[in-house]
Amino acid sequence: MKYDERIMNVCGEIAELVHPVRIIIFHSKYALAGELESFKLCVIVAENDCSKIEQKIYLNVECDVPFDVLVYNREHWNSLMNDTYSFAYRGIMNGGVVLYESE
């Protein structure tokens, strides 16, 4: 599937800024006319301070449409992948698409 250029640009900027393990898009909203209105990304990182990384992304990455970012560290993400009832497993991994992967 081809994604809007703005989504891919944000993904690229995040990859350069925080060097994540993986970036997954798990939601995008489009107007009836087909114009992108917003999107949500999950960023998985090796570091433990997810709130600091999330803040860094919001302060340094700009986009003309609203976007949300959820940041998980790799260990926590892996543990959530073993819980089939978790939002990370059901809502992100099974409903999302990997846009970037460093491994």
Quick: pLDDT tens for 34-91: 999 999 999 999 999 999 999 999 999 999 999 999 999 999 999 999 999 999 999 9
- Quickly tell me which residue has 């994540």 as its tokens: 20
The C-alpha atoms of residue 80 and residue 94 are separated, in whole angstroms, by 12
Quick: pLDDT tens for 11-49: 999 999 999 999 999 999 999 999 999 999 999 999 999
The C-alpha atoms of residue 52 and residue 49 are separated, in whole angstroms, by 6
pLDDT for the residue numbered 87: 95
Close Cβ partners of 75 (under 8 Å, ≥ 6 residues apart): none
Domain boundaries, the chain: 5-101
CA 63 vs CA 28, 87, 92, 101: distances in Å? 14, 26, 22, 21
Confidence of residue 1 (pLDDT cuts 50, 70, 90): low
Mind giving me the DSSP string for 25-79? EEEEEE-TTS-EEEEEEEEEESSS-HHHHHHHHHHH---SS-EEEEEEEHHHHHH
Fold assignment, 5-101: Beta Polymerase; domain 2 (3.30.460)
